[in-house]
């Protein structure tokens, strides 16, 4: 009888839960940005030396480019995964873009092709963040909240790179960047709620201010002036914020025409 009352042994012992591996963990924005800007990620070819030099200037993990303040912000985000406020988000994105400009801003700003690729990338990130598997509209408030960080990144990129060109006194490049960014801004999604389109209008106002500042210090040639005037009038179809730039350029072109008539 005692043998029957003996406790039964467990046939299979349940193993202790294994710790989660980092293979499926989502990478942070900083890691993705650092990986994208490393020299190995750049294409090889005739301009490999230039690309390597640019990669070294943009590599966010070499030479102690990250300041202590940005590192502390990232550690706080990892320890306390609470949603950031709008002001904190804008400050973080502005810090990331300023890090890109920290070492060789003149070389980077002079390369308008790089600035165009940067705007294209940020616009692509906006559309990638919008969930399309929805029964309702994909321009509602839920989709806007998903795309909001990328919209802020696009706005800060327009603002900061334009200021770099103005500080370097590259007036023609600043006008070209403003018109290029204006076209990309016009291609941003239109949201169902009117207040959600405020970031688009802010981008237009920033770019118009950059263009007006450049025109106040720059007198283009007649052919270049006619081209800029045509493009500015096309930009006015998207937003009337560019009207002061058109008036300033028309005044400059009138002065050029008057001076040419005087010389004759």
Out of 74-83, 123-132, 232-241, pick the least confident: 74-83
pLDDT at residue 66, as a whole number: 37
**Overall CATH class of domain 84-263:** mainly alpha
Residue 63 banded pLDDT, cuts 50, 70, 90: very low
Residues ≥6 apart with Cβ < 8 Å to 87: none
| pTM, entire model | 0.62
Query: Cβ neighbours of residue 231 under 8 Å, at least 6 residues apart?
Result: 179
Residue 165: predicted pLDDT:
92
CA-nearest of 245, 238, 241, 185 to 214 is 245
- For the ranges 80-84, 116-120, 179-183, the lowest mean pLDDT is seen at 80-84
pLDDT of 55 over the 90 cut:
no
- Domain residue spans in the chain? 84-263
Sign of CA dihedral 196, 202, 207, 208: positive
- Give the Cα separation of 136 and 104 in Å (integer): 46
* Low-confidence winner among 30-44, 112-126, 148-162, 228-242 (lowest mean pLDDT): 30-44
Mean pLDDT of 121-145: 89
Whether the per-residue pLDDT at 27 is higher than 60: the answer is: no
The span from the CA of 122 to the CA of 152, in Å, is 10
């Amino acid at each position: 009888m005692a043998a029957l009352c003996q406790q039964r042994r467990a046939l299979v012992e349940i193993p202790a839960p294994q710790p989660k591996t980092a293979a499926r963990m989502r990478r942070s924005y900083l890691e993705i940005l650092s990986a994208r800007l490393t020299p190995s990620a750049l294409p090889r070819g005739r301009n490999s030396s230039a690309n390597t030099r640019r990669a070294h200037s943009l590599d966010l993990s070499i030479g102690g480019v990250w300041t202590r303040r940005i590192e502390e912000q990232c550690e706080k985000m990892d320890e306390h995964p609470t949603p950031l406020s709008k002001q904190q988000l804008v400050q973080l994105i502005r810090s990331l873009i300023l890090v890109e400009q920290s070492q060789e801003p003149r070389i980077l700003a002079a390369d308008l092709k790089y600035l165009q690729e940067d705007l294209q990338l940020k616009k692509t990130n906006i559309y990638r963040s919008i969930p399309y598997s929805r029964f309702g509209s994909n321009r509602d408030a839920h989709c806007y909240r998903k795309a909001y960080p990328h919209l802020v990144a696009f706005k800060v990129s327009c603002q900061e790179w334009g200021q770099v060109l103005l500080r370097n006194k590259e007036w023609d490049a600043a006008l070209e960047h403003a018109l290029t960014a204006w076209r990309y801004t016009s291609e941003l999604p239109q949201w169902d709620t009117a207040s959600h389109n405020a970031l688009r209008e802010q981008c237009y106002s920033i770019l118009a201010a950059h263009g007006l500042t450049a025109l106040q210090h720059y007198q283009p040639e007649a052919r270049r002036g006619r081209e800029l005037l045509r493009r500015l009038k096309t930009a006015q179809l998207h937003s009337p914020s560019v009207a002061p730039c058109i008036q300033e350029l028309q005044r400059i072109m009138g002065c050029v025409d008057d001076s040419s008539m005087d010389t004759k």
